[in-house]
Amino acid sequence: LEDIGMQIQDMAGSGKETTYSMGDDAPISVLSEKPHTIYNYFKQRFAQVTNPPIDPLREGVVMSLAMTLGKKESIYKVSEQGARLIHLESPVLNEAEMKRIADFAEPENGGFKQSTVSTRYDIADGPSGIKKAIDAICDKAVEDVKSGAEVLILSDMAADQSELDSTTYIPPMVAIGAVHHRLIETGLRMDVGIVVETGSAWSTHHFACLVGYGANAVHPYLALETVKQWHGQQRTQKMMEAGKITKSTLNEAQDNYRNAVNAGLLKILSKMGISLLSSYAGAQIFEAIGISEEVINTSFKGTTSRVGGISLEEIASEVITMRPEVADAKMKLVNYGYYKPVPALGEYHANSADLARLLHNAIGLNKKVSAATNRDELENDGVEPASVANYEIFKKSLEEAPLANIRDLLDFESDRESIPLEEVEPAEEIMKRFCTGAMSLGALSREAHETLAIAVNRVGGKSNSGEGGEDTIRGKPIADVDEKGRSPTFPHLAGLKNGDSANSYIHQVASGRFGVTPEFLVTAKQIEIKMAQGAKPGEGGQLPGPKVSDYIAGLRASKPGVTLISPPPHHDIYSIEDLAQLVHDLHAINEAAGVSVKLVSSIGIGTVACGVAKADADVIQISGGDGGTGASPLSSIKNAGCPWELGLTEAHSALLSNGLRERVTLRVDGGVRTGRDVAISAMLGAEEFGFGTIAMIAEGCVMARVCHLNTCPVGVTSQKENLRKKFPGTPEHVVNFFNFVAEEVRQLMAHLGYSKFEDLIGRADLLKESKEQLERVVKTKGIELAPFFSGVPDSSKDRSFLRTSPETGSVSKDSIVHINKFSSDLDREVSGNDEIKKVIAENAGETVQTYNIKNTDRSTCAMLAGDIARAHGNKGFKGTVNVGFYGSAGQSFGAFVLPGLKVKLTGEANDYVGKGMHGGEIVVVPDADAGFVAADSSIVGNACLYGATGGDFHANGRAGERFCVRNSGAYAVAEGTGDHCCEYMTGGVVVVLGTVGRNVGAGMTGGIGYFYDKDGGFKERVNPEIVKMQRVTTGAGQDQLKHIIERHFEKTGSEKAEEILNNWDDEIGNFWQIYPPSEGQNPVVKDADGVDQLRVSAAAPDGEMCFLPVGGDLNPDQTARCAD
């Protein structure tokens, strides 16, 4: 029932997958006490680091869902006969298309012989009957294909009510997998296309599973019938009339449903970097959680299943359990509460309103006390005394709850006698290992985000900014708190103390680069690269438009009210080498900060972790697939990513076995709630521990699960002022929670006989399977944890991995960070220049310096930018530093350049020029003796100005692909680009004086682009989904473009610019202007009265925006100052 309301109806009404929030806090399917479809036992795999995901939203041009039915020829033999196939645009078929495929059996229509094999069998045969039924359908499939069948339909549709009552069915995923592998074994698989006709497929994950295990197409007859019934309901028609949902015909509603499934399939393919569904078909890119070896060998050969699980007979029993008469549902569908908790009868959810209430009682939080009520009148802001007794009740509720996670099946087995609690290290030391999850400002309100940061800083832990940036006022300690705990700097917070800091310890850099500026990076004590997120690995972040307030838009350099979607992490991270470069960039701008890389648990993460360690990361974070999120497609929350118990163990083991463990700290997060969770994760290898959802609960979250709707009733995840006033939390509440967890850890340590926490790390030998807990598993006795966990290398004797060993000897990992080697020597030389240091120190004057550069000099100027940002912030530098370079620059030349820093390269540069540029100027020109035409030759590489937030950039030559992706403020000129120019751009101006590749302006929600198109080929290269295009018709637009090109000529001596300017009246007609709807009223787009100033440059030396009178020319002084 829940699937109809939350998935099928949503997809039929909007043509999109359902968006939901929080994480997956329900039990994994094999431990659940409720029946689950077989699909729920499989987790989608995804690309992280070793290969890039694709962006299905903005780069769908390279993707296809086309499939074929019929007999395929060998790839080594090409003939006309090999083209005799039934072509499908989508693998999702409706009834009319099934009839059309049946017509192809007629000789005059192609003569595609077809066969239908029923997957139903008698209920009377019992659960064991499924094995015989599987053998029967496999035998029948082989027989039919040998007889010439080219289309095989596996159908669970009953012929009539009598058959429906007396039979059950083989789950379609089990059936297709078994038939697919039997046909492979007999050498017949290429001779036939297989259609699965099923009433048991409705979610995008279901279709992916069926195709992934061998189906060429799926006819979801019951899902389409459900859409039909929903559309015909009076309630639905009334909602359409009222405008609550878009009006549609039945055919349109069913097309909407199919379009939503298609989009979901593209997303699932893209997460693994696969562009064609035909490549995904039969590729089995899943991991099974809770499936026995018997089932794997029957239907899913080659699929990883690490902890055993249900058998074929148990699968058959689970299918029967879902029948309405068995569930005593009186022929009505049951709401099992898989997504939203249903009291009493529904699925167990760990993060429930009941759990929140128990925790609030323990930590002294009253959700009714807030700025909207009487908090100011109450003693200690209404914070009640923490209650140990109530924490014990909270802890007991989790211990006695239904089984949910793999760790629930583990127990402790110490090798020592217990010790007195007094001998155990203090809670203060343990809390230094606690972190908060990466929850962005935007997903959270200011109140919630800042309260968490202050609380974790108080206990000496590590708070995490998430991917939205932070206000610069948070970089300094709070020093204006009055006797009531109020600060004029943070008037919306309560319970403050002088000396508190709202600056997050960890500042996150994600694919969207939202809020990433030089000051943001240099004020971090650790910088985290978000490669994946537990709730939706392989996908970018998502912030719904209603949550993008003026304040949030300002931090993210975007447009208020416009939904923000981060790209998948592939725009500057194609491979492990590119990740290593980003690590290098971050180490360069902030040498004192460690760099962490966030990964998500999945099979193979051990190999990835080894690569990340070799890339000089300082910390590797392993997130579980049950991590929370502010907004995500529902199918992603439920079906991607594995338990952290598996990923953490694999990563720790791989690093230890390869001699890399001492180089990195391992951190874990995802559903960590108690001291028991902390102790188990430590024994599996973790040294630090992230708390996400539970930390939000500790500051007042009531688990309303409406984060994505901006309607949080207690202001934790809302940007609405009236709801934010209802925020009940203070730092003290969160501190109380962390104290309780740390004390619980101490009690466990005393019981186990360990006085130092670090002595538990990596000690998997202190864990065992709990027979008592295994007996509680309702569905199966087939779970086996020992074979997997026993593979962890024994580290009980050799504990050297807990320390790192630089030249100075063994020291704590926390005390040092990796330092860039020879590739930053030039950067150090520039930063150490006495003249440059003097200008920075005095914040006045000007200096000009020149250097030779070679392609092993990477991230050049990042250290210098860091020095300026540390001294003066993003905009406070009043001096001018001019640095000239001659030669071939390595990657990330000019990264993070900021106002007052002007860089010129004579030669050429590799990828990522101007990455994260925030101001100042970068000019790249060819050597005077270069023997090529500048306008026709590449002078800078791919992904230049990725994540730029300001500054002026001029390249006298062509740029590579992904030019100005996520640009939100830079004014940039190049003389040609590759594919994906201006993708995800939210601000700034881009001028291209030559040809461009495909997909211009995809996902562009702010800023303006001008493109020279003398040959008339530009129009077909624009992605029209968001942006509009027009000729440059406004006076303001023409003036802006002309002045920018004049500036380009002044800076580079560009022949192409000179040619255009000399024939301006004719050439202006060759330019296209592209813009998103948010720029529709911009005077450069639309003529407006009263425009007397025009912005022509990103930033002046004082950090202010620079404007020029409309129609005015640059005077000699302005020209000398480069139009700043």
* Cα–Cα dist 565/570, whole Å: 14
341: part of which helix (H) or strand (E)?
Answer: none
Q: What pLDDT score was predicted for residue 2?
A: 86
Give the three-state DSSP class for 34.
Answer: coil
- Contacts (Cβ under 8 Å, ≥6 apart) of 186: 142
| Strand 120-122 versus strand 167-169 pairing type | antiparallel
- Positions of the chain with pLDDT lower than 70, given as ranges: 325-331, 806-809, 1089-1094, 1098-1124
- Please give the pLDDT value at position 318: 95
980/966 Cα distance (integer angstroms): 11
Which residues, 6 or more positions from 237, have their beta carbon under 8 angstroms from its beta carbon?
A: none
Calculate Rg over the CA atoms of the chain. 31
Single-letter code of the amino acid located at 648: L
Tokens matching residue 594: 């460690």
d(CA 719, CA 459): 27
Query: For residue 591, which amino acid is it?
Result: E
| Cβ-proximal residues to 705 (8 Å cutoff; 6+ apart), any chain | 20, 21, 22, 340
pLDDT at position 808, please? 54
Residues 6+ apart with CB under 8 A from 432: 459, 460, 461
Distance (Å, whole) CA 462 – CA 433: 8
pLDDT at 968: 95
Task: Round to the nearest angstrom and report the end-to-end CA distance of the chain.
Answer: 63
Please state, as a whole number, how many other Cβ atoms lie within 10 Å of the Cβ of residue 1033: 12
Taking alpha carbons only, the member of 854, 959, 883, 858 closest to residue 586 is 858
pLDDT of residue 1102: 44
Residue 1109, pLDDT score: 56
Residues with Cβ within 8 Å of residue 262, at least 6 apart in sequence:
65, 90, 92
pLDDT the model gives residue 23: 82
Average pLDDT, the chain: 93
pLDDT (0 to 100) of residue 1106: 52
- pTM, two decimals, is 0.94
Q: Report pLDDT digits (tens) over 570-589.
A: 777 778 999 999 999 999 99
Q: Residue 674 is inside which H or E element, if any? A: none
- Report which of 401, 520, 544, 506 is spatially closest to residue 471, judged by C-alpha positions: 520
Handedness of CA 282, 288, 290, 295 (dihedral sign): positive
Q: Tens digits of per-residue pLDDT, 269-317?
A: 999 999 999 999 999 999 999 999 999 999 999 999 999 999 999 999 9
Closest CA to 117 of 197, 59, 42, 21: 197
Tokens describing residue 82: 């090999």
Proportion of the chain in helix, strand, coil states, percent, rounded to 5:
35, 15, 45
Both structure tokens of 653: 């083991």
For 442: left if phi > 0, alpha if psi spans -120 to 50, otherwise beta; the answer is left
Alpha helices in 15-94 (DSSP H): none
Q: Where are the alpha helices (DSSP H) in 53-203?
A: 95-103, 129-146, 161-166, 172-185
What is the pLDDT at residue 1112? 55
The answer to whether the beta carbons of residues 1008 and 1079 sit under 8 Å apart is yes
